[in-house]
């Protein structure tokens, strides 16, 4: 398989270490524990009620396209195949936390790692360690990977982070958290959520003067900590600029998407 590459100031650079891909057999076995399936069902029902009001249309469409809309835990091999057909992304099972550079190297190659368990069982408010578990990855992030522009953007973010190097990783992590984790989009009906931390953990209750959202563990996600956009194309303009870049992603994005993204970087 050809490695995606990025040309920076005329120099071709690899984007981080090649991750050790897991097999489809590993993916098919997730989740390992019965209690994780129970936790998934409980958390899924809780958050879907909130998303009826706050979920953006592209996120909700992704849930239906990929088959994540049901409380029953999806077959991940089938889900990964649907995702690959939609936007050329694939899921990979990941049993341990990844360091940031390895995580971005997955994204750069259009692979999305999902953890093997639901942290803390997820059966009581505050029992989950958010952002580190199967529910956050699968319910929170994966539906948006069926959205073509967002799917292209996330690969570009991974490529740029790996090309920028270790010293720049805090900047790219902060950007990832503001967009992929805490992203909001303006619509004619008001603000709607697409960021994974919001869709997985927000109660839907607004904090004082509508300045943010409360989460089920009693924390607050402030609007000042979110990236609010008017369209997903706008995400391209929010990418950190650590060097002039021209993307070459032969293994992934649809041709029309690649042309659009290249134009936006000129």
pLDDT higher at 20 or 142: 142
- Is residue 15 within 8 A of residue 163, CB to CB? The reply is yes
In a domain, 141, yes or no: yes
In a domain, 213, yes or no: yes
φ, ψ dihedrals at 119, nearest 5°: -60, 130
Number of structural domains in the chain: 1
At residue 246, the pLDDT reads 36
Query: CA 85 to CA 185: how far, in whole Å?
Result: 26
In a domain, 10, yes or no: no
Full domain range(s) for residue 22: 17-265
In a domain, 84, yes or no: yes
pLDDT in tens, 39-74: 889 999 999 999 999 999 999 999 999 999 888 888
φ, ψ dihedrals at 30, nearest 5°: -80, 145
Q: How confident is the model at residue 197 (pLDDT cuts 50, 70, 90)?
A: very high
Residues 6+ apart with CB under 8 A from 228: 183, 184, 185, 186, 191
At residue 155, the pLDDT reads 97
At residue 17, the pLDDT reads 52
At residue 95, the pLDDT reads 79
Nearest 5 degrees, angle CA 56-CA 183-CA 247?
105
Dihedral angle computed from the Cα positions of residues 163, 167, 170 and 172, in that order, rounded to the nearest 10 degrees: -20
Residues 6+ apart with CB under 8 A from 124: none
What does the pLDDT average to over 230-234?
A: 96
* SS3 track for 179-245: HHHCEEEEECCEEEECCHHHHHHEEEEECHHHCEEEECCCCEEEHHHCEEECCHHHHHHHCCCCCCE
Q: Which CATH number covers residue 148?
A: 1.10.800.10
Would you say residue 25 has pLDDT above 60?
no
In a domain, 96, yes or no: yes
In a domain, 11, yes or no: no
Q: Which of 49, 40, 166, 176 is nearest to 107 (CA)?
A: 176
Edge-first strand listing for the sheet containing 5-8: 11-13, 5-8, 245-248
pLDDT higher at 88 or 117: 88
Take residue 224 and report the two structure tokens written for it.
Answer: 């000042």
Q: How confident is the model at residue 12 (pLDDT cuts 50, 70, 90)?
A: very low
């Amino acid at each position: 398989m050809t490695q995606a590459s990025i040309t920076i100031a005329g120099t071709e650079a690899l984007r981080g270490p090649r991750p050790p891909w897991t097999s489809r057999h590993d993916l098919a076995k997730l989740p390992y524990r019965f209690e994780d399936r129970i936790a998934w069902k409980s958390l899924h029902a809780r958050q879907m009620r909130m998303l009826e009001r706050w979920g953006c249309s592209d996120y909700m469409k992704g849930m239906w396209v990929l088959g994540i809309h049901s409380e029953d835990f999806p077959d991940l091999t089938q889900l990964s195949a649907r995702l690959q057909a939609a936007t050329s992304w694939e899921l990979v099972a990941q049993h341990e936390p990844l360091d940031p550079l390895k995580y971005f190297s997955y994204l750069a190659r259009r692979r999305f790692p999902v953890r093997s368990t639901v942290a803390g069982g997820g059966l009581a408010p505050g029992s989950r360690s958010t952002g580190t578990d199967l529910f956050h990855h699968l319910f929170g992030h994966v539906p948006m990977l069926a959205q073509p522009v967002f799917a292209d953007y996330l690969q570009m973010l991974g490529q740029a982070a790996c090309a920028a190097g270790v010293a720049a990783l805090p900047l790219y992590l902060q950007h990832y958290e503001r967009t992929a984790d805490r992203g909001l989009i303006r619509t004619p009906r008001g603000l709607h959520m697409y960021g994974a931390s919001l869709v997985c953990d927000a109660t839907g209750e607004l904090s004082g003067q509508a300045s943010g959202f409360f989460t089920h563990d009693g924390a607050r996600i402030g609007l000042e900590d979110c990236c609010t956009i008017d369209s997903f194309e706008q995400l391209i303009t929010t990418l950190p600029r650590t060097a002039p870049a021209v993307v070459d992603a032969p293994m992934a994005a649809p041709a029309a998407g690649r042309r659009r993204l290249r134009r936006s970087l000129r």
